Amino acid sequence: MKKQKLPRRKTARIAAKSGQAKAVRSIVSGETPAAAKRELPAVVSTDGKGQAAAERFHAGLRTRGFRLAFLAFLTGAFIVAASLLIPHEFAFFELGYLFTLSIYDLVLAMLGLSIAIGLAERRSEVVSILLAFIASIAPMLLFFDPIFHAILQSPLGHELFLIAPVAVMLSGLVLWLPASLRRFAAPVSASIVGFSLSLFIGLDDFGIGIKEFAFSAVLGAVWILAVPGLMLRPFRGAWLTIPARIIGSWLMVIAVIVTVSLYVPFSPDAPPLAPPLADPTEPDGGTSLDAPALPPLDPAVEEGLMEAPESFDDARPDGGIPAPDLGGNPLLGGGRSGEP
């Protein structure tokens, strides 16, 4: 009886190992059928998940989409670094994308939408976000003067300074929505972010309409919006939900802080300090020759060559500095006739 049970135990162990290997291979390949989950025990599941995550990470690095997006990221970063580090005269094309990078709140909003691109389940969602962003910028830059004049005449013109904080708030809110709602809310948020960016671009060139400046500013914005998300897409999964919501919370808090700072009134300028009061207990009555309330003294008085007059209204003693000749300048009291 014992000899008959040993082969069964060996065959059971072999079958269990083969089942575990099949389950691990199915997880690595991305297919997790119910049968594979049943064959994989709890002890092997942790190791298998770690191995599967490592395999997916290396597989994502080898994808063509990640390589192209990473190449675009390195190219843009090299151009920006060269513009900032090499001393030269900036062209309008360089000033355009450097201007976009200087709008920090909108850069954060575009990075939030870029994470939404990384979370998108379909390519059509990515295309809809990019198209909504560009579609809101193009008409504003082509017909900026009449559109901006109409905006100023509308009730929105009085609250136009809130457009950037609202854009940051919406981009953070998009990351908190489920996938079914995010596919509709992300394009709306992208259009508001694009509209806000177009206002900054249109107002910065003072209506001159420099094409190189506007084109490079929009190109830099598309680079910020698309490249990080395209680099993230090969690694998308359930693990990205919690980090995305954390970043969305940060964006909403930043939007609230920026909004509150816009409503806080500036402190009025402090009134000029009054001259110090005389203290009878101090020498010379507590007055100082350097006090701003006193008129300037004669250099001879300051050097001790002559005594200071008791009253500046009295006639100057002999040897004093004569009164300045005001001439005919009416601003200095000159040119007036002494006759009534």
Q: How far apart are alpha carbons 201 and 276 in whole angstroms?
A: 52
Place of tokens 């976009």: 100
pLDDT in tens, 200-247: 888 876 545 578 888 999 999 999 999 999 999 988 888 888 999 999
Q: How far apart are alpha carbons 129 and 36 in whole angstroms?
A: 37
Given this model, what pLDDT does residue 189 score?
94
In degrees, rounded to 5, the angle at the alpha carbon of residue 277 between the alpha carbons of residues 272 and 282 is: 140
- Closest to 243 (Cα-Cα) out of 232, 259, 253: 232
Asked if the model's pLDDT at residue 267 lies above 70, the reply is: no
Amino acid identity of 70? F
- Which helix (H) or strand (E) segment holds residue 76: the answer is helix 64-85
- Closest to 96 (Cα-Cα) out of 209, 229, 225: 209
- Closest to 109 (Cα-Cα) out of 202, 261, 221, 239: 221
191: Cβ–Cβ under 8 A, 6 or more apart, which residues?
A: 132, 133, 135, 136
State phi, psi for 208 to the nearest 5 degrees.
-70, -35
Are 22 and 36 contacting, i.e. CB atoms less than 8 angstroms apart? Answer: yes
Q: How far apart are alpha carbons 192 and 102 in whole angstroms?
A: 19
Higher pLDDT, 59 or 2: 59
Given this model, what pLDDT does residue 90 score?
86
Q: How far apart are alpha carbons 84 and 98 in whole angstroms?
A: 9
Q: How far apart are alpha carbons 161 and 102 in whole angstroms?
A: 17
**336: confidence class by pLDDT, cuts 50, 70, 90:** very low
Strand, helix or coil for residue 290: coil
Given this model, what pLDDT does residue 196 score?
92
- Closest to 29 (Cα-Cα) out of 1, 8, 48, 9: 48
Asked if the model's pLDDT at residue 106 lies above 90, the reply is: yes
Asked if the model's pLDDT at residue 44 lies above 60, the reply is: no
Q: Which two tokens stand for residue 84?
A: 């900032």
Q: How far apart are alpha carbons 151 and 145 in whole angstroms?
A: 10
**127: confidence class by pLDDT, cuts 50, 70, 90:** very high
Given this model, what pLDDT does residue 7 score?
47
Q: How far apart are alpha carbons 182 and 102 in whole angstroms?
A: 28
DSSP string, 230-271: HHHGGG-SGGGHHHHHHHHHHHHHHHHHHHHHHHSPPPPPPP
What's the chain's average pLDDT? 75
Distance of CA 44 to the CA centre of its chain: 45
Distance of CA 220 to the CA centre of its chain: 14
Q: Is the pTM of this model over 0.75?
A: no
